[in-house]
Structure 1
Amino acid sequence: MVIKLKIVYYSYYGCFSSVIAAYIHTGYLKDKVSKDTIFSLPEMLDLDYGELKYIGFDENLHEVYVIGMKSFSDNIKKTLEGLRKIYNLEYDRLIFIDTSMYEPKYLKFIFPIRKIVLLKKISDEILYNWLIKRFDGIKNLVEEFKRHGAEEKT
């Protein structure tokens, strides 16, 4: 019997560390990548709380998503699981992986700064440098889940 999983990477914003984790999970990002590659990801810094964004399939054909949950992660998790049961959706498990520990504390200040043309390049450089320092940690989180997290996570 093949188990179908829906894997959801989430954080407060859902548009930075969770996006990187999801793209690592699907195999699109493998190693440290260029700034252009990172900022060309469609979901990168696309702030839209509560919107479940489809990223793709992993090598086992499990679907991978990202979402920004603000401080409502428990409520959103329960709601999505409830919808699965109500509509008898055909997958076996819905798994949430929190990437918040890899999110810069100052991210909320970056959003308005990026809108100023003169400061966009600087803010992107700051975020890219932050990411490069944490990329291996995000990658390890994903790889650890892929090794044996599906049995443990709920």
Structure 2
Amino acid sequence: MKIIYYCYGGTHSSVLAAAIHTGQLVSKGVPSKKQINDLALYDKISKKELGRPFFYGADEFGNLVYVLGLGSKRELIKEFLLDYLKLFNIKTEEIILVAALPYVSSFTKIGGFLSRRLGLVSLGRPIVTYTLQKLYPEYDNLVSQVKAKLRNID
């Protein structure tokens, strides 16, 4: 299976969820700011890279985990992606798309905008990191639900 965590920019909430899923961040407990800031791809994907999936790692079951930024046209791009895969006879039932957006707060959005859009990383990144720490239990729960679904598929 391929699991794709997606969000607006593919650089904050989707990266956090992918890191939990692949075991790079511990489940149950809140990681430090440094642990979050040191994640691969965290606060690094540019606007030009929206729509490009990035491989993040494999989970304990051998499933491949990706992150993806879909911008403001999430539903349109999601449909395009699935149709595109079908066009090349790639089985879409082997792909799980997971929205990492449900827990994003206004402060997360503001921090992401400051960091990625305006280039004010020293101002925006701490805001995003702080809010993701506060929301960590929700992301941990999201990943737990995805893994439970994977166990039921096998």
SS at match of 2:9: coil
SS at match of 1:43: coil
TM-score (norm 1): 0.80
Q: Assess, with a 3 A threshold, how the Cα gap between structure 1 residues 131 and 150 changes in structure 2: closer, same or farther.
A: same
The residue aligned with 2:25 is: 29
The residue aligned with 1:105 is: 109
Aligned length: 143
Q: 1:7 aligns with which of 3, 10, 13?
A: 3
The residue aligned with 1:114 is: 120
Alignment map for 1:42-121 (pairs within 5 Å) = 42-46=40-44, 47=46, 48-89=49-90, 92-103=93-104, 104-106=108-110, 107-111=112-116, 112=118, 114-115=120-121, 120=122
TM-score (norm 2): 0.80
Q: Structure 1 CA distance, aligned partners of 2:133 and 2:64?
A: 26
The residue aligned with 2:36 is: 38
Q: Assess, with a 3 A threshold, how the Cα gap between structure 1 residues 124 and 76 changes in structure 2: closer, same or farther.
A: closer
Deviations 1:41-84 (A, max 9, x none): 22111233111100011111111101110122223223322333
* Structure 1, gaps ≥5 residues long: none
Q: CA RMSD in A?
A: 2.3
Percent identity, aligned pairs only?
31
**Contact (CA 8 Å) 1:8, 1:96: kept in 2 or not?**
yes
* Structure 2, gaps ≥5 residues long: none
Deviations 1:81-123 (A, max 9, x none): 23333333477421111111233231213332535xxxx1x54
